[in-house]
Chains A and B, each alone.
Chain A
Amino acid sequence: MKIAVCIKRVPDSETRVKIGSDGKRLDEAGVKFVLNPYDEFAVEEALQRKEKAGSGEVAVMCLGPAAAAETIRTALAMGADRGVLLQTDAIPADGFVTAQALAAELQGGAWDLILFGKMAIDDYNQQVGPMVAELLGLPCVTAVAHLEIDGTKGIAEREIEGGVEVVEFPLPAVLTADKGLNEPRYPALKGIMAAKKKALEVKPVQLGPGGIEVLALTPPPERKEGKIVGEGAGAVAELVRLLREEAKVL
């Protein structure tokens, strides 16, 4: 099985967001960056599929700054075979531009599967996977929480409001991974050592601005100070009164 996994370097979910001096992006000083959590499920799925098939390749693709080489090394330490960094200093706000760059790299690769996380936890764009599928003319299932593959036929389950969709698709295909798909492994020391010797190709890319321009990044509106209604079950009557008469939500 030949599998490509597209990953992203993102600020850790515990990051406190500080706005940069240009008012348009995150101040990265002191921010810890990690492999996007949803991408971990994609990497794990690729590794398990390759292990099950007994042969094949797991290649990791990442669009990002030079420092994203670290993120690729994390995936290599988990067990991926090689990495490609499409190096750019500025990731565009327009997801279609990112999709075009990745699709150009993936084109002609004879992949059985191309995997993504269902979204990146920084920009919440949630679009690059299905866009790459459109650009490559491949079938696509997003937010996959359960997956079975038999030969060139796959069955995926994806969560919808109040239920689960059971979706059939043929391979090759593009899939985006949701939490619950698997339990991502932690890189072992042996894997971390091995990752240092694995191939990591760096390709500078020039990206157009796309059609979406960032005007401002601002903190969310502060919530007005709340109040402690009281202690214990005795405070419940007053809580209900406030919810009815003051907040008017009951």
Chain B
Amino acid sequence: MSATRLILAVCEHRDGTLRKISHEVVTGARRIGEAVEAVVCAAGPVQGADQLGRFGADTVVTLTNASFARYAPEGYAQAIAERAKAGGYSAVIFAASATGKDLAPRVAAKLGVGLAADCTDLAADGGAIVATRPVYAGKALLKVKVATTRAVLSLRPNVFTPVERPKAGTTETVAVSVPAGRVVVREVKAAEAGALDVAEAQIVISGGRGLKEPANFKVIEELARAFGGQAAVGASRAVVDAGWRAHADQVGQTGKTVSPTLYIAVGISGAIQHLAGMRTSKVIVAINKDKDAPIFKVADYGVVGDLFEVVPKLTEEIKKLHG
């Protein structure tokens, strides 16, 4: 390997604005790299890209192409793989976001290597990288040694807390040419205004069968709103399978695994496949009328009682704080 371990950190934008998750990618890259180059594919300047220096990028490179205004799977993959091959990078790091999950395997295949996906910890070990990744939906942790010339890794959102440093990075724009993509994103239908994704939200409030019927999810939604736009609404498998909530909201082994700062489980008993999906949350609160529910075994704080009394009261208290 080269004398200096150089990492390529693949960042993301949405509509020309850098996505915050990029700060986490750069922070993760810094953990194993002595030098970090942040790269973002875009149609033009990306708002916020120049700030990546503060989170650990020595250089920020914007790869521009007219087709890069939206995610262009084939074009992005080619541009990043070419960049990765040209420089002396020892690792290419992505966010395990919707885009990163699609893009990272394409780039890895172009580089002829496997992907260590959804990592929650990284360490350098001589010429290799040791990555820790949850498997079986977090029921176990797999520690792997990635010994390929270029390691390709993706990082679980909300795990690598951005670390700021008093340093600016240099910026550079490189126009790239890629063939017209066969796979084209025609449109992005936005979810309800302000709706946050459970995988990325700092606060997740999930509801289960204890809510009794779909309309009652409004008590959860009101609590989420009380947090002033920081909270997403999640759901247990039981209520998703019953058609009460969209699959996008499902937390658990056949849904999303989440690691928010605060997870509030409401009327969820805590089936093993659900616990697997949320046990890495920093603080867990459970509200359930059954004091023997398994959810209380993983909760830091539990309230035993009728959720239709407890949750509105909690909403009221949170509103006071955010008032």
Interface contact A212-B98, CB-CB below 8 Å:
no
B142 to chain A: which residues have CB within 8 Å?
93, 123, 214, 216-217
Q: A64: CB under 8 A from chain B?
A: no
- Indicate if the CB atoms of A235 and B101 lie closer than 8 Å: no
B1 within 8 A of A: no
Chain A: minimal CB distance from B283 (Å): 5
* B182 CB, min distance to chain A CBs, angstroms: 4
* Tally of contact residues, A, Cβ under 8 A: 86
Q: Are B321 and A240 in contact (CB under 8 A)?
A: yes
The answer to whether B283 touches A217 (Cβ under 8 A) is no
Is the Cβ of B197 less than 8 Å from the Cβ of A243?
Answer: no
Q: State whether A121 touches B253 (Cβ < 8 A).
A: yes
Binary contact track A31-74/B, C-beta < 8 Å → 1, others 0: 00000011000000000000000000000000000000000000
Complex CA gap A210/B262 in Å reads 38
- Contact for A243 among B145, B186, B189, B285, CB less than 8 A: B285
The digit string for B90-117, where 1 denotes a CB below 8 A from any CB of A, is 0000000111011011101110111111
Among residues of A, the one whose C-beta sits closest to the C-beta of B99 is A160
* In the complex, chain A residues whose CB is within 8 Å of the CB of B312: 233
| Neighbouring B residues of A143 by C-beta, 8 Å | 98, 101-102
Determine the distance from Cα of A5 to Cα of B222 in the docked complex, in whole angstroms: 43
Any chain B CB within 8 A of the CB of A164? yes
**Do the beta carbons of B134 and A96 come within 8 Å of each other?**
no
Smallest beta-carbon distance B154→chain A, Å: 9
Q: Is the CB of B136 within 8 A of A126?
A: no
In the assembled complex, which residues on chain B have CB atoms less than 8 Å from the CB atom of A93? 114, 142, 144
List, in ascending order, chain A residues with CB within 8 A of B303's CB.
Answer: 228-232, 235-236, 239
Q: Does B172 contact A (CB under 8 A)?
A: no
Query: Which residues of A are found within 8 Å of B248, using beta-carbon distances?
Result: 159
Whole-angstrom distance between the Cβ of B287 and the nearest chain A Cβ: 9
Q: Is the CB of B106 within 8 A of A220?
A: no
CA distance A243 to B248 in the complex (A): 28
In the complex, which residue of chain B has the Cβ closest to the Cβ of A235?
Answer: B303
Kindly supply a per-residue 1/0 record for chain A positions 134-160, scoring 1 wherever the CB is within 8 Å of any chain B CB and 0 otherwise. Answer: 110001111101000000000101111
B114 touching A127, Cβ below 8 Å:
yes
Does A109 make an interface contact (CB < 8 A)? Answer: no
- Which chain B residues lie closer than 8 Å to A95 at the CB level? 105, 114-115, 117
Does B130 make an interface contact (CB < 8 A)? yes
Q: How far is the CB of A166 from the nearest CB of chain B, in Å?
A: 4
Measured CA separation A96–B309 after assembly (Å): 52
Contact A233 B305 (CB under 8 A): yes
CA–CA, A38 and B15, complex, Å: 31
- Interfacial chain A residues near B299, Cβ < 8 Å: 226
Q: Which of A169, A212, A230, A250 contacts B116 (CB under 8 A)?
A: A212
Per-residue interface assignment for chain A, residues 185 to 221, with 1 indicating a CB less than 8 Å from any chain B CB and 0 otherwise: 0000000000000000000000000111111111110
Known contacts A38-B254, A125-B117; A15/B145 CB under 8 A? no
Q: Give the size of the chain B interface in residues (CB under 8 angstroms).
A: 94
Interface of B, secondary structure class, is: mixed
Binary flags per residue of A116-130, CB closer than 8 Å to B gives 1, else 0: 000001111111111
A140 close to B106 (CB less than 8 A): yes
B195 contacts A by Cβ under 8 Å: yes
Q: Point out the residue from B136, B145, B147, B306 that lies within 8 Å of A121, measured CB to CB.
A: B136
Q: How far is the CA of A142 from the CA of B104 in the complex (A)?
A: 12
Judged by a CB distance under 8 angstroms, whether A13 is at the interface is: yes
In the assembled complex, B124 has its CB within 8 A of some CB on chain A: no
Q: Return the chain A residue nearest B148 by Cβ.
A: A211
The CA of A212 and the CA of B119, in the complex, are separated in Å by: 13
Interface centre among B108, B130, B195, B240 (most CB of A within 10 A): B108
Known: A166-B189, A178-B247. A134 touches B109 (CB 8 A): yes
Report whether B113 and A219 are in contact in the complex, using a CB–CB cutoff of 8 Å: no
Q: Are A223 and B284 in contact (CB under 8 A)?
A: yes
A180 to B138, CA, bound (A): 23
12 extra A-B contacts, CB within 8 A, seeds A135-B109, A226-B300: A123-B135, A124-B118, A130-B105, A141-B73, A142-B101, A179-B240, A212-B147, A215-B145, A218-B141, A220-B280, A233-B309, A247-B283
Q: Show 22 A/B contacts (Cβ-Cβ < 8 Å), sorted by A.
A: A95-B117, A96-B112, A96-B113, A121-B136, A126-B101, A143-B101, A160-B188, A163-B191, A167-B186, A169-B184, A212-B144, A223-B300, A226-B299, A228-B296, A229-B301, A229-B302, A229-B303, A230-B304, A232-B304, A233-B312, A236-B317, A242-B301
Chain A residues near B (Cβ < 8 Å)? 11, 13-17, 19, 26, 37-38, 93-97, 99, 121-131, 133-135, 139-143, 145, 155, 157-170, 178-180, 210-220, 223-224, 226-233, 235-237, 239-240, 242-244, 247, 249-250
